[in-house]
Structures are given as structure tokens and as C-alpha cells.
Copies of this chain bind each other. A is one copy, B any other.
Amino acid sequence: MEAIIITIGDELLIGHTVDTNAAFIASALNSIGISVKRKYIISDKKDEISTHVKQALSEVSIVLTTGGLGPTNDDITKKVLCELFNTELVLSEEALMQVKQFLEIRNLPLNKNNLGQAYIPQACTLLTNKYGTAPGMLFKKSESILISMPGVPHEMISLMTDEVLPAIKSLFSLDRIIHKVITVGGIAEAVLAEKLSDWENKLPEYIHLAYLPSPGVIKLRLSVYNSNDNHIHEVEHQANKLYKIIPDNIISMEGLSLTEVLGKILNQKTLTIGTAESCTGGAIASEITSIAGSSDYFKGSVVAYHNSIKENILNVSKSDLETYGAVSKQVAESMAKGIAELLKTDISIAVTGIAGPGGGTSEKPVGTVWIAISIKGKVLSQKYKFGNRRDTNIRRTVNAGILFLINEMKRMK
């Protein structure tokens, strides 16, 4: 069973907006055994929408569109779908009730624009949008279905979860897809590929391997389409063989992120953590607290951008700052010690570096970062040299800090 996703909106073609919807939809479809054959990102033009919806319906059983359903005049998807499915817009009492409810709660007026949201193609089934005024719509055409959703991410996510997936499950009998994701760190992609080449060449033909790299972390994915119970065992067997080749680089055999693995370790050992951050500006704390339930182990953080804060709040010695500079082993270690003492945590991560684009010197160029960790009073530190891009340097420092800590805590077992 295959699907095609069509994202509609000029803002995506002009580069003002990153399409995060398509990834969520693909992941949700995969989880119920539907593979995504292709994605189109097209403009708000009638011909583009019409041509690609028709093309997609001729190729696959399920077509999903997002976007072009807003209350403003540049949104024309609904009109085009009416022509395609040979139907017309009618006022839906159900949709009108939803729009009114939505506006009432938020104390917003019913005006011409959002009243228009209650006009729905007669031939479609309505899907309830709990977080906005544009409802989802489901159309049937011979053996295929088309689902149209608004492009606002949280509205689409709620529609997908509560309405679209149940509808698809009830309409089709679905294959099973297995995905086993293994998180690997501290190794370059080419080196990893060489270490794994023998194992990869011996994989059964029905297991597909993919490398999913991001700064400092690579996810390896083993997939079987149209799978049965034997395949599950074979995938686990192959994953175990993989583990034995690179045991020190395995972060998670369940595909967890660095932050999720850290949370699990801290929860298991009932330890608390805090961070002291200079160049990352709070990004490590923000990453740790992006996980629901992180308040069980995360106590807090001090972002010490200015040296006065390193000195006065984290208790870094003035002479260290003057002698070695803010980006140094000594200062990183003092920050790690200082924050653990200040917040009374078992564990801490401290980072100090030059994210760029300014601030580099010949001795300490942009991308130089010192990371220190403190585990129950034991302080360790490491120097890193990243690149020239500010955003990538911050992202890599966040991942390197968490990875450093995870590896040391695993060693302590």
C-alpha cells in the first residue's frame, strides 16, 4: 500500500517556510504499514494542484494534501477539489458548528473569512479539526482516497492522529512494515560504512539498510516491507551482529535520540542534572527539557554568556579567566563544578566555546569548544574543533556534550 503526499503553498517554494508536515505525515503513515512513494511541493496554482492530484490518484491508493485551506484569498485548494471530484461547495452545518465553537473559546468574532471555512465540497466526508477553522476532508475515487488537511502544523498533527489514521485503517487492509533504528555516535559516516561493509553485504535481500546522518550522530535503519514474524527475528538477529562490530559507538538499539538516552539513564539511576552554558546559550537545557517528564531529573541551568556571570554565579576564578581565557579547559571544568554545586545536582555539563562568526583568534579559531562534565564530583573535560557556521557549531556542541556524558556514564556501570 503506497501513498503520495502533496504540499500546497507558494511559501514553501519561495523558501520562507520549511516543510515539517511532510515528515510527520510520512512517519505516521509508515507506522501503520503505508510507504510513501513520493512527495510533491507545488504552488497555489489551479493547474498545478489539479495535475498533481490526478497524477497521484492514478498511481497510489492514498493521496494526502496539506495547505491551501486557510481563510485568506490565496487559498484555492477547496475550489480545485470541487472541480476534480465534480461537486460543489455547500454550507456544512457540522463545519459551521466547529468554526463557531473554535472562535467562541478564543473570544474571536465570526467574520466573512472564517464563515467561508464552513463551506465544504458536498461529495466529501468531514474530518474534525480541533485546533483551527479549516476542517479536513476525505474524498473517494474508485479504489483510491484523497485526504485534504490544513497546513498549520499542530492542526495537521491532530487531524492526522485522531481522524486520518483511523479512517485509513478502517478503509484498507494494510501490510506491515518493520523499521529497526539504531543510533550510533562518535564515528564518521565513511569509517562506519567501511566497518559495516562485510555485514551489510551479507544482509538478506529483503532487509534494506539506510544511513540517516545528523551532526555528530548517525541513525542506521533496517527496514522490511510487507513483512512477517520471521522477518522480525531476522532483523533483531542482524541488529545484534551489528552491535558486536561497533559496541562502543552504539548509543541506542531502539533508535532513541541522545536526549532520550540521557533521560533514561538519569531516571534509572535517580540522578539529577544541570547545565552551565556559554556558546550554546541555553540550547543544551532546551534540548534536555524538550522531553516530557524531564523535570524528574533536570533541575536547571545557568547561561553564562558574559564572563562576569561565569565569575560571580558559577564561581570561576578571575585569574583562570585572565590566564587561560574563557574558552579553556580550566574555565570549562570550573563551570561544571560550579553549576553542580550551585544547583546541588549529581551531574552537570558545561560548555564554553567560540560559535562564530566573530570572536575567533589564530590560537582559538571559530569552532573551538571546551566541554566539561561533572559526575558526582569527578570532573572530566575534552576539547573539540568544529567548523565555521554558528548554527551548526551550536548544534554539534549540544550533541557532543550529551554524548560525552552518556559515554562516561556507561563506562561507570
A residues near B (Cβ < 8 Å) are 10-20, 22-30, 35-43, 48, 70-74, 106, 108-109, 111-114, 131, 133, 152-154, 157, 179, 181, 188-191, 193-194, 197, 200, 208-214, 219, 221, 223, 275, 277, 280-286, 288-290, 292-295, 298-306, 308-309, 313, 342-344, 356-359, 387, 389-392, 394
Contacts and interface: CB of A to CB of B under 8 A. Distances in A.
A290 B106 CA distance: 32
B356 A292 contact: yes
A131 B299 CA distance: 37
Given A38-B41, A108-B191, A290-B281, A16 B303 contact: no
A167 to B, nearest CB: 19
A103 to B, nearest CB: 9
8 contacts: A12-B23, A15-B22, A15-B29, A37-B43, A71-B193, A281-B290, A281-B294, A290-B390
A285 B392 CA distance: 17
Nearest to A218: B72
**This protein's copies in its complex:** 2
A111 B301 contact: no
Tell me the interface secondary structure of chain A in the complex. Answer: mixed
A212 B392 CA distance: 26
Contact of A343 (B28, B299, B309): B309
A301 B302 contact: yes
Contacts of A16: 23, 27, 181, 212, 219, 221
Contact of A289 (B106, B281, B285, B359): B281
